[in-house]
Amino acid sequence: MTVAFLYPGQGTQRPGMLHDLPGHPAVAATLAEAEDILPGSSRQDDARALASTVTTQIALCVAGVAATRALAAEGAAPDAVAGHSAGAFPAAVTAGVLTFAEALAAVRHRAELMRDAYPSGYGMAAVLGLGVPRARALIESITMDDDPAYLAVIDADQQVVAAGSVRALSRLEAAAEQAGARRVHRLPIAVPSHCPLLAGVADAMADHLGTVPRRPLTVPYLGGRTGRALQDADAVLDDLARGVAATLRWRDVVALLGELGTTLFVQAPPGSVVARLAGAANPGARAITLADTRLTDAVELARHAGRSRLPAGDDGHLSRRRGHQPSSGG
């Protein structure tokens, strides 16, 4: 049995998310450290503050690292980690690739670049119930040169997210409803993430992360851009940089974790979206979140799941089980 820690991205933020973290000394210490590194980062979680993509991404990083340290202090550790969008940064901290200070600096830089590139007029919308091929075709059909939309995230077979201009997303909402989508809704994200519109941000992030010292991974890390297990720090840092402008293949991430034998998914705060997606993709596994599970209960479940290793290749790195191939995503 194996344990995977999952870290959510933008769209899951909610007021009070930092104040509602588990009451644990490791959480208090992490919040104090965050405040020393980036003043204000330990307490800016009201609705007004979280309207900013910069504040939101920083808060998600703080929450993820704080929760992980509380779990670790009680003896619960993951066999693999994965982060959804901005959640990739606290995942990289858990994997030993980034220090907390490096992650906070990188997240702030990333979010500021995203905000400055598209200060208004852009966003993201989820489309449920059409399937990936139909959703992709629909997104392409409503795209115009001056009003682009892109398939940005493949969360599940029946759940995708589009990114683009608000006018394009409005056309998509109408077209998807007419096509029989179960639900279409805008996400609380004011930037067009995971699409070519952010190619310049990806280049700038590659330059920024190029200065980070290379460290060996202490736990396997699954990259959202490829849906694969990444084998060294260079690959992880490339995923962190380039992922902002590439389709996020979360469906492939959770499918691979299931094939590798993960039986317990633990989502760091806030929310429950990524745990729910992992559980739905792997019916034989258990998916919990610290938003609705007591820390002591989560620790007990993780301890029982144990620290057995995921399947590895001859070189000691994660490899896919025979017959598994990543889904195409665009």
> How many domains does the chain contain in total?
2
- Check whether residue 47 and residue 91 sit in a common domain: yes
Taking a C-beta distance cutoff of 8 angstroms, is the pair 1, 36 a contact?
A: no
Radius of gyration of the chain from Cα atoms? 19
Question: Of 170, 189, 208, which closes a domain?
Answer: 189
Is residue 324, in this structure, part of any structural domain at all? no
- Check whether residue 130 and residue 225 sit in a common domain: no
pLDDT greater than 70 at residue 35: yes
Task: List, in order, residues 6 or more apart from 23 with CB less than 8 Å away.
Answer: none
Is residue 239, in this structure, part of any structural domain at all? yes
Taking a C-beta distance cutoff of 8 angstroms, is the pair 95, 219 a contact?
A: yes
pLDDT greater than 80 at residue 329: no
* H helix runs in 118-198, sequence order: 132-142, 166-178
Is residue 319, in this structure, part of any structural domain at all? no
What pairs with residue 144 in β-bridges?
147
Is residue 318, in this structure, part of any structural domain at all? no
Is residue 327, in this structure, part of any structural domain at all? no
**Per-residue pLDDT at 30:** 98
- Check whether residue 180 and residue 237 sit in a common domain: no
- Check whether residue 300 and residue 254 sit in a common domain: yes
Least reliable range by pLDDT among 57-71, 113-127, 313-327:
313-327
**C-alpha distances in Å from residue 75, one per residue of 122, 261, 274, 298, 301:** 43, 21, 23, 11, 11
**What is the pLDDT averaged over residues 195-213?**
97
Domain CATH for 11: 3.40.366.10
Tell me the CB-side half-sphere exposure of residue 31, using CA atoms within 13 A.
19
Q: How far apart are the C-alpha atoms of 201 and 191, rounded to whole Å? A: 12
When the pLDDT of each residue in the chain is averaged and rounded to a whole number, the result is: 91
Is residue 311, in this structure, part of any structural domain at all? no
Q: Which active-site residues does the annotation give?
A: 85, 194
- Check whether residue 69 and residue 129 sit in a common domain: no
Is residue 293, in this structure, part of any structural domain at all? yes
- Check whether residue 49 and residue 97 sit in a common domain: yes
pLDDT-derived band at 316, boundaries 50, 70, 90: very low
Domain CATH for 142: 3.30.70.250
Is residue 314, in this structure, part of any structural domain at all? no
- Identify the DSSP state of 230: E
Provide long-range contacts, Cβ within 8 A and 24+ apart, for 300-303: 301/264, 301/266, 302/3, 302/71, 302/76, 302/77, 302/78, 302/264, 302/266, 303/75, 303/76
How would you classify the pairing of strands 2-7 and 80-83?
A: parallel
**Per-residue pLDDT at 306:** 63
- Check whether residue 112 and residue 223 sit in a common domain: yes
- Check whether residue 134 and residue 281 sit in a common domain: no
- Check whether residue 216 and residue 287 sit in a common domain: yes
What pairs with residue 299 in β-bridges?
none
**What is the pLDDT averaged over residues 281-299?**
93
Domain range for 79 is 2-117+197-305
- Check whether residue 20 and residue 145 sit in a common domain: no
Nearest Cα to 152, choosing from 197, 202, 106? 197
pLDDT greater than 50 at residue 279: yes
- Check whether residue 73 and residue 215 sit in a common domain: yes
pLDDT-derived band at 291, boundaries 50, 70, 90: confident
- Check whether residue 285 and residue 141 sit in a common domain: no
Q: How far apart are the C-alpha atoms of 68 and 92, rounded to whole Å? A: 12
Q: How far apart are the C-alpha atoms of 102 and 92, rounded to whole Å? A: 10
Where are the strands (E) in the chain, listed by range? 2-7, 80-83, 122-128, 149-156, 159-165, 183-186, 221-222, 229-230, 262-267, 286-289
pLDDT digits (tens, 9 = 90+) for 135-170: 999 999 999 988 999 999 999 999 999 999 999 999
